[in-house]
Amino acid sequence: MPTFILWTSMYIPEHEVRAVLTYESLVPAIRQALIDYSAGLVEQPARTILRAGNAEGFKNGWFAVMPVIAGDVMGVKTVTFFPGNADLGLHTHMAIVELLRRSTGEPLAVMDGRLITEMRTAAVSAVALAALAGPSAASLGILGSGVQARSHIQALGLVWPGRKEIRIWSRTAANAERLAEECGGRAVTIEQAAAADVVLTVTASPDPVLKGKWLAPHALVLAVGATGATLRELDDEAMHSSFVVAESRSCAERESGDVRLSGAKVQAEIGEILSGSVPAPSGGRSVFKSVGMAIEDLTAARLVWQARPNHDGTVTA
């Protein structure tokens, strides 16, 4: 008689992800994942992106598949980005993550990936801020007032005890006022937000909104929005006057309009700076450009799966 090995997997909805995934656990895990990526310990092919053809121009959505293998697990995230959803009261990003055991290929869990995408993006920025911001940085300027603005305020606060001021700009003034009231910040002009010590860009704009002439000489820019090779948030002056750091050279050069359209050179990966193999920039402006990577989703999904009730914390056992 043949022997059959039975496996059981589970679906973990967003409310259960929210109950167990914290920035306190995610930020250090993401930090190590970025070091591992730059050290060549992660197998992560380029994501496959298909246009949905649901609308013309900027509102044309996309569907992406992001596989990765690292450590004792494998995973794949399917993610959609539909900018027009904002007008419908829907999330612009939606996703599903599948987690598998590397040693056998057994599915371990399938989980909602929307919150994972939201939180891991902010956690990556928090890791970059901790590595790149100057010791005197005290003010945060935010261009944008949506989901990522809120998640970044929380994640950056975890690693930045010296933050004293939050300035918020949005194309919709009422949204900036609302977020400012929520976080104890103040709504300002775009020039005032861009003059902060740390500037976070989390807009859905397809064209540059941040001009280099507005930036302080010592500014750190966390460029998170403008997802796509033909979209950008930063103008040429902002890019060319800064030391450019990315999660991945290849990902940024392939997928970031801020990098591709400006012709700026990625001078370091954040994992290289974190490991000490490349020195952190000293003085002057820096730009950290993130486009999102599958290893970040896998890292968060593994934490969620391990934190589920009655789990013993192992994968290979």
Domain ranges of the chain: 10-116+295-306, 131-291
User: How does the average pLDDT of the chain come out, rounded?
Assistant: 93
Domains 10-116+295-306 and 131-291 share a fold: no
- Say what the pLDDT of residue 310 is: 61
- Say what the pLDDT of residue 314 is: 55
What digits encode the pLDDT tens for the residues 6-21?
Answer: 345 689 999 999 999 9
- Say what the pLDDT of residue 10 is: 87
- Say what the pLDDT of residue 6 is: 39
CATH 3.40.50.2300 fits 10-116+295-306, yes or no: no
Segments of the chain scoring below 50 in pLDDT: 1-7, 315-317
| pTM score of the predicted model | 0.93
- Say what the pLDDT of residue 299 is: 98
**DSSP string of the chain, one letter each residue:** ---------EEE-HHHHHHH--HHHHHHHHHHHHHHHHTT--B-PPPEEEE--SSSGGG--EEEEEEEEETTEEEEEEEEE-GGGGGGTS-SEEEEEEEEETTT--EEEEEE-HHHHHHHHHHHHHHHHHHHS-TT--EEEEE--SHHHHHHHHHHHHH-TT--EEEEE-SSHHHHHHHHHHHT-EE--HHHHHTSSEEEE----SS--B-GGGS-TT-EEEE----BTT--SB-HHHHHTEEEEES-HHHHHHHBHHHHTTT----EEHHHHHHTSSPPP-SSEEEEE----HHHHHHHHHHHHHTSTT--S-S--
Superfamily of domain 131-291: NAD(P)-binding Rossmann-like Domain (3.40.50.720)
- Say what the pLDDT of residue 309 is: 66
